[in-house]
C-alpha cells in the first residue's frame, strides 16, 4: 500500500527521501510527493501522479533542498489518483503530513472542520488529519502536543509523520494499526513504513509499538507509549545485505527473487533441522509446550500465503494426523466460528502487515485459541510482535508484487513446523528422517528446475495471445495449481482459474477448446494415473495441454500435449519444487506481453488496508 519516508539530518534530505520512495514504490504507486523544510523560512512541497520517477523529474527541475522532510507513495483509497489527492497534505502553508492507513471517521471530522471554516482541496481522509493537527497546533503552539491531542479523535488505522515550518528541527510520528519504523543514524535519524526504504542510510531500526508517538530529531529520539510513559524501543540490526533491494543483473525483481529460491529455502531450513531430525527448540523455547496438546490447527492468510496454508493442510493431516482448517482472513474475520478445543491459530504472511490477517489474529487472541503461531518474512512486523510463537522465513526482502520466494520459504517453514507437530502425534523417527532428508534436497532440486528456464520461456509463447487458461492439480498439487493461476493472472492479466483435476468434468470442461491452454502439475504420486485420465478428457475436447511431470510419471508428449520433465522428488516436498516452473511460466508470459512485471496494475505489495 502507501509508503512513508522521513528524515532529519545535517545534510540535504531530498536525495534520501527520493531513494526511500523508490524503494517503497513496490507497495503502492499511483502518485508520490515530498515536503521539505529549509530552516524556518519555508516548507516546500512537490506532488506528481504516476511513478516516483515523475516526482524525481519535478524535483530535479525545482529542487526542494532542506534538512527536514517527509515523503510518500500513494495507493489510492479515498479519492482518485491525482495531484490534489497525493500526499503530503497541508494545513495552511507551514504544516505537512503523510499518512498510511485509513481514518474511518474522516467524514464526521471533515464535516466538523468544514463548519469551523477549514477548506479542503482533496478527497482524502489524510487532509482531515492535517487540518485537525493544524487546528490543535493553533491552540497548543507545539507540534508534539498537537499530534498527541489530534490522534485521540481518530478511528481506524494510521501511521503519521508530521512536520511544521515553525519547528524545523524535528518530525513527529505515531502509529496505530499501520507499520512505522525509526531508522537510527549518526547525527541524523529517519522514519519509514518499511525498513527497506532506509537501507542506504542505516541498518539500525526501532519498531514503534501500537499507540507509540515519537519525537525525532537529528541527535535524539524520544518515544512515548499510548499511556504517555516515556519508553525505549530496542534497536535491531537489519540482517540481510543492503543490496537486497537492487535488481542486480536481473531484468526484474521477480526474476531475481525466483532465482534466489535455492539460497533462501536453504536459509529457512538452516538451524532448524539436522540430517534427520527437526530441532524443535529452534522453533522457539515454548514450541514443545505449545505443540504438545494441539488438537486442531486453524490457518489464516491471504493470497499466495493462503495457498501455502492450503498445501500445509495436506501435510498436517497426513503427517501429524491433526485436523486442519484453512480460511482466507477476510472471510474468517467476519463470520462466527466454532473454536474446537486446543486449536492452534496459525497466520501466514510475507509482510506481517496484511490488515485482514492481523484483524483475524487480534480476534483470535480474544476468542480463546490455544496459541498464535506466525509464519512471517518481516522481522519486527505487527504479526511477529503479536504472535506467541514465530517461525521466520528467511526469504529476505521481496520486492516484486507477485510473491515467489516468500511462498516457497513459507512452505519450507510450514513443513518443518508440521514435522515438529507430527512428532508429538506419533510420527515415526524413520518417517521424520525420510522427510527431513527430502527437505535437504530442495535447494538442488529447485536449481534443477531453474535450469529449465529457457525451455519454459519457449513454452510461454503459446500463452501470449490467449485470454483464458486453466490450471489443474490433484491433492497437495491443487493449491500449487491455484498459486500458478494467481501468478499468471496478476502479472500477465490473462484470466486463469485453478481446479482440482477431478472437478473438471463437473463444469469447467465445457470451457475447454483450442483457445484455452490447460496447465497441469503431475508429480509421480498415487494420483498420477487418475490425473492422466483427466488429461485425456481435455485432449479429447481439443484442449492444448502443458504438463509439468515427474520423469517417472511417464506422461508422453504428443500432438497437443507439451510435457516438461521435472526431476523426481519426494511426494511431500513436490509442491515446493512444482511451484517454480509455474512462476517462470507466468514471468515469461508477462514479459512477452510487456506488462509491468514487478508492479502489476491495481495491486500493492503490502495490503495494509482492508
Ligand atoms: C500474490 O502474489 C500477492 N502478493 C498477494 O496475494 C499476497 O500474497 C497477499 O496480499 C498476502 O500478503 P502477505 O503474505 O504479505 O500477508
Task: Tell me the CA–centroid distance for residue 403 and ligand 1, in Å.
Answer: 6
The predicted structure's pLDDT at residue 40: 67
Does residue 571 lie in a domain region?
A: yes
Determine how many CB atoms are found less than 10 A away from the CB of residue 63: 13
Q: Does the beta carbon of 351 sit less than 6 angstroms from any atom of ligand 1? A: yes
Query: What is the C-alpha separation between 31 and 551, in angstroms, rounded?
Result: 49
Residue at a domain's end among 193, 213, 237? 237
Query: Which stretches does DSSP call E strand in 481-560?
Result: 495-500, 518-522, 545-550
Quick one: 243 exposed, middle or buried, by C-beta within 10 A (0-12, 13-18, 19+)?
exposed
Q: pLDDT at residue 530 above 80?
A: no
- Alpha helix stretches (DSSP H) within 162-201: none
Place of cell 511417464: 554
The predicted structure's pLDDT at residue 446: 97
| 475-478 LR contacts (CB < 8 Å, sep 24+) | 475/314, 475/525, 475/527, 476/311, 476/314, 476/315, 476/574, 476/575, 477/521, 477/522, 477/523, 477/574, 477/575, 477/578, 478/310
Tell me the CATH number at 591: 3.40.50.10490
Q: pLDDT at residue 28 above 70?
A: no
| Whether residues 292 and 167 fall in one domain | no
Does residue 607 lie in a domain region?
A: no
Residue at a domain's end among 202, 237, 272? 237
Residue 397 backbone dihedrals phi, psi, to 5 degrees: -55, 130
Determine how many CB atoms are found less than 10 A away from the CB of residue 162: 29
Question: Predicted confidence band at 380 (pLDDT cuts at 50, 70, 90)?
Answer: confident
Query: Using one digit for the tens of pLDDT, what is the confidence trace for 445-467?
Result: 999 999 999 999 999 999 999 99
Residue of 384, 607, 608, 609 best suited for mutating to test ligand 1, as the one with most atoms within 8 Å of CB: 607
Q: pLDDT at residue 519 above 80?
A: yes
Q: How many domains does the chain have?
A: 3
Does residue 533 lie in a domain region?
A: yes
Closest residue by Cα to atom 6, ligand 1, is 303
DSSP SS3 for 474:
coil
The predicted structure's pLDDT at residue 79: 82
Does residue 152 lie in a domain region?
A: yes
Does residue 608 lie in a domain region?
A: no
Q: Tell me if 551 sits within 8 A of 566, measured CB to CB.
A: yes
Q: pLDDT at residue 528 above 80?
A: no
Q: pLDDT at residue 241 above 60?
A: no
pTM of the complete model:
0.74
- Kindly give, in sequence order, each residue whose CB lies less than 8 Å from that of residue 453, ignoring residues fewer than 6 positions away: 584
Q: Does the beta carbon of 304 sit less than 6 angstroms from any atom of ligand 1? A: yes
Q: pLDDT at residue 370 above 50?
A: yes
Cα torsion angle, 164, 168, 170, 171, sign = positive
Run of H or E residues at 91: strand 89-91
Q: Tell me if 223 sits within 8 A of 208, measured CB to CB.
A: yes
Q: Tell me if 20 sits within 8 A of 193, measured CB to CB.
A: no
**Which domain, by its residues, includes 102?**
3-237
Q: Does the beta carbon of 608 sit less than 6 angstroms from any atom of ligand 1? A: no
Q: Does the beta carbon of 349 sit less than 6 angstroms from any atom of ligand 1? A: yes
Does residue 475 lie in a domain region?
A: yes
Does residue 442 lie in a domain region?
A: no
Question: Predicted confidence band at 242 (pLDDT cuts at 50, 70, 90)?
Answer: very low
The predicted structure's pLDDT at residue 244: 62
Highest mean pLDDT among 264-278, 482-496, 507-521 belongs to 482-496
| Whether residues 422 and 499 fall in one domain | no
Residue 27 backbone dihedrals phi, psi, to 5 degrees: -80, -30
Q: Which three cell numbers stand for residue 505?
A: 468434468
Q: Is the peptide bond before 88 cis (omega within 30 degrees of 0)?
A: yes
Q: Tell me if 375 sits within 8 A of 229, measured CB to CB.
A: no
| Whether residues 335 and 219 fall in one domain | no
Q: Which three cell numbers stand for residue 282?
A: 529452534
Task: Tell me the CA–centroid distance for residue 383 and ligand 1, in Å.
Answer: 14
Place of cell 493431516: 317
The predicted structure's pLDDT at residue 239: 66
Q: pLDDT at residue 609 above 80?
A: no
Residue at a domain's end among 183, 205, 237? 237
pLDDT, greater one: 511 or 18: 18
Q: Tell me if 299 sits within 8 A of 326, measured CB to CB.
A: yes
Q: Which three cell numbers stand for residue 567?
A: 526431476
Q: Does the beta carbon of 607 sit less than 6 angstroms from any atom of ligand 1? A: yes
The sheet carrying 343-349 orders its strands as 324-328, 296-301, 343-349, 371-376, 389-392
Average pLDDT value for residue range 32-51:
90
| Whether residues 494 and 513 fall in one domain | yes
- Across the chain, what does the average pLDDT equal? 91
> Which ligand 1 atom is at minimum distance from the Cα of 351?
15
| Whether residues 176 and 281 fall in one domain | no
Query: What is the C-alpha separation between 355 and 173, in angstroms, rounded?
Result: 20
Task: Tell me the CA–centroid distance for residue 436 and ligand 1, in Å.
Answer: 27
Quick one: 529 exposed, middle or buried, by C-beta within 10 A (0-12, 13-18, 19+)?
exposed
| Whether residues 406 and 288 fall in one domain | yes
Average pLDDT value for residue range 432-446:
96
Place of cell 526542494: 64
Q: Report the 3 state secondary structure along 541-582.
A: CCCCEEEEEEHHHCCCCECCEEEEEECCCCCCCHHHHHHHHH
- How crowded is the C-beta side of 588, counted as CA atoms within 13 Å? 18
DSSP SS3 for 44:
strand
Does residue 438 lie in a domain region?
A: no
Question: Predicted confidence band at 532 (pLDDT cuts at 50, 70, 90)?
Answer: confident
Minimum mean pLDDT among 213-217, 247-251, 447-451, 589-593: which range?
247-251
Percentage of the chain with pLDDT > 70? 97
Q: Tell me if 358 sits within 8 A of 385, measured CB to CB.
A: no
Query: What is the C-alpha separation between 527 and 475, in angstroms, rounded?
Result: 8
- The residues assigned a catalytic role are 2, 605
Query: Using one digit for the tens of pLDDT, what is the confidence trace for 68-117?
Result: 999 999 877 778 889 999 999 999 999 999 998 878 899 999 999 999 99
Q: Does the beta carbon of 393 sit less than 6 angstroms from any atom of ligand 1? A: no
Q: Tell me if 344 sits within 8 A of 373, measured CB to CB.
A: yes
Q: Tell me if 446 sits within 8 A of 438, measured CB to CB.
A: no
Residue of 252, 305, 379, 399 best suited for mutating to test ligand 1, as the one with most atoms within 8 Å of CB: 305
| Whether residues 232 and 257 fall in one domain | no
Residue of 75, 196, 302 best suited for mutating to test ligand 1, as the one with most atoms within 8 Å of CB: 302
Of 13, 87, 2, 17, the residue nearest 45 (C-alpha):
87
Q: pLDDT at residue 238 above 60?
A: yes
DSSP track, 95-124:
EEEEEEEEETTHHHHHHHHHHTT----SS-
Tell me the CATH number at 99: 3.60.20.10
Average pLDDT value for residue range 59-65:
92
Question: Predicted confidence band at 341 (pLDDT cuts at 50, 70, 90)?
Answer: confident
Q: pLDDT at residue 27 above 60?
A: no
Query: Using one digit for the tens of pLDDT, what is the confidence trace for 286-338?
Result: 788 889 999 999 999 999 999 999 999 999 999 999 999 999 999 998 888 88
pLDDT, greater one: 598 or 217: 217
Closest residue by Cα to atom 2, ligand 1, is 402
| Whether residues 456 and 499 fall in one domain | yes
Q: Does the beta carbon of 579 sit less than 6 angstroms from any atom of ligand 1? A: no
Q: Does the beta carbon of 566 sit less than 6 angstroms from any atom of ligand 1? A: no
| Whether residues 201 and 258 fall in one domain | no
| Whether residues 146 and 36 fall in one domain | yes
| Whether residues 226 and 271 fall in one domain | no
| Whether residues 45 and 187 fall in one domain | yes
Residue 326 backbone dihedrals phi, psi, to 5 degrees: -130, 135
Q: Which three cell numbers stand for residue 201?
A: 542510510
Amino acid at each position: 500500500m502507501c509508503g512513508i519516508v522521513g528524515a532529519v539530518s545535517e545534510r540535504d534530505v531530498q536525495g534520501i527521501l527520493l531513494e526511500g520512495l523508490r524503494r517503497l514504490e513496490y507497495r503502492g504507486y499511483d502518485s508520490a510527493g515530498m515536503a521539505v523544510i529549509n530552516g524556518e523560512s519555508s516548507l516546500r512541497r512537490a506532488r506528481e501522479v504516476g511513478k516516483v520517477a515523475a516526482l524525481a523529474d519535478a524535483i530535479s527541475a525545482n529542487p526542494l533542498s532542506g534538512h527536514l522532510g517527509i515523503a510518500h507513495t500513494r495507493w489510492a483509497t479515498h479519492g482518485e489518483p491525482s495531484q490534489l489527492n497525493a500526499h503530503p497534505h497541508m494545513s495552511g502553508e507551514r504544516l505537512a503530513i503523510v499518512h498510511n492507513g485509513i481514518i474511518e471517521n474522516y467524514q464526521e471530522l471533515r464535516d466538523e472542520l468544514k463548519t469551523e471554516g477549514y477548506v479542503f482541496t482533496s478527497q482524502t481522509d489524510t487532509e482531515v488529519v492535517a487540518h485537525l493537527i493544524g487546528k490543535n497546533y493553533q491552540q497548543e503552539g507545539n507540534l508534539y502536543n498537537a499530534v498527541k491531542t489530534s490522534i485521540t479523535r481518530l478511528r481506524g488505522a494510521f501511521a503519521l509523520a508530521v512536520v511544521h515550518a515553525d519547528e524545523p528541527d524535528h518530525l513527529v510520528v505515531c502509529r496505530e494499526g499501520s507499520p512505522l519504523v525509526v531508522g537510527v543514524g549518526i547525527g541524523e535519524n529517519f522514519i519509514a513504513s518499511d525498513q527497506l526504504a532506509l537501507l542506504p542510510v542505516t541498518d539500525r531500526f526501532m519498531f514503534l509499538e501500537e499507540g507509540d508517538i515519537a519525537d525525532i530529531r537529528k541527535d535524539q529520539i524520544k518515544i512515548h507509549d499510548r499511556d504517555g510513559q516515556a519508553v525505549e524501543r530496542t534497536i535491531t540490526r537489519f540482517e540481510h545485505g543492503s543490496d537486497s533491494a537492487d535488481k542486480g543483473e536481473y531484468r526484474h525483481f521477480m526474476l531475481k527473487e525466483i532465482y534466489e529460491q535455492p539460497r533462501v529455502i536453504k536459509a529457512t531450513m538452516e538451524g532448524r533441522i539436522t540430517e534427520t531430525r527437526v530441532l524443535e527448540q529452534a522453533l522457539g523455547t515454548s514450541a514443545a509446550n505449545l505443540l504438545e496438546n494441539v488438537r486442531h490447527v486453524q490457518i489464516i492468510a491471504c493470497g499466495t500465503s493462503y495457498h501455502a496454508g492450503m498445501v500445509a493442510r495436506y501435510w498436517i493431516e497426513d503427517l501429524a494426523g491433526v485436523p486442519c482448517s484453512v480460511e482466507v482472513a477476510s472471510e474468517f474475520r467476519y463470520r462466527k466460528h466454532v473454536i474446537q478445543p486446543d486449536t492452534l491459530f496459525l497466520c501466514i504472511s510475507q509482510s506481517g502487515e496484511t490488515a485482514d490477517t492481523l484483524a483475524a489474529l487480534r480476534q483470535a487472541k480474544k476468542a480463546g485459541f490455544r496459541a498464535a503461531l506466525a509464519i512471517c518474512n518481516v522481522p519486527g512486523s505487527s504479526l511477529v510482535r503479536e504472535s506467541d510463537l514465530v517461525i521466520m522465513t528467511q526469504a529476505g526482502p521481496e520486492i516484486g508484487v507477485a510473491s515467489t520466494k516468500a511462498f516457497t520459504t513459507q512452505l519450507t517453514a510450514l513443513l518443518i513446523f508440521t514435522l515438529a507437530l507430527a512428532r508429538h502425534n506419533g510420527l515415526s523417527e524413520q518417517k521424520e528422517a525420510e522427510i527431513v532428508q527430502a527437505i535437504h534436497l530442495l535447494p538442488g532440486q529447485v536449481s534443477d528446475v531453474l535450469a529449465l528456464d529457457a525451455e519454459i520461456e519457449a513454452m510461454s509463447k503459446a500463452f501470449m495471445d490467449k485470454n483464458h487458461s486453466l490450471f489443474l492439480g490433484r491433492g497437495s498439487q491443487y493449491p500449487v495449481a491455484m498459486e500458478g493461476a494467481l501468478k499468471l493472472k496478476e502479472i500477465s492479466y490473462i484470466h486463469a482459474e485453478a481446479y482440482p483435476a477431478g472437478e473438471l468434468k463437473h463444469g469447467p470442461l465445457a470451457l475447454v477448446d483450442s483457445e484455452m491452454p490447460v496447465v497441469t502439475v503431475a508429480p509421480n504420486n498415487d494420483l498420477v494415473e487418475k490425473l492422466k485420465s483427466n488429461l485425456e478428457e481435455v485432449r479429447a475436447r481439443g484442449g492444448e495441454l502443458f504438463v509439468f511431470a515427474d520423469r517417472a510419471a511417464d506422461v508422453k508428449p504428443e500432438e497437443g500435449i507439451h510435457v516438461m520433465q521435472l526431476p523426481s522428488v519426494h511426494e511431500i516436498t513436490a509442491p515446493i519444487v512444482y511451484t517454480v516452473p509455474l512462476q517462470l511460466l507466468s514471468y515469461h508470459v508477462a514479459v512477452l506481453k510487456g506488462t509491468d512485471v514487478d508492479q502489476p496494475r491495481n495491486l500493492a505489495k503490502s495490503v495494509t488496508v482492508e
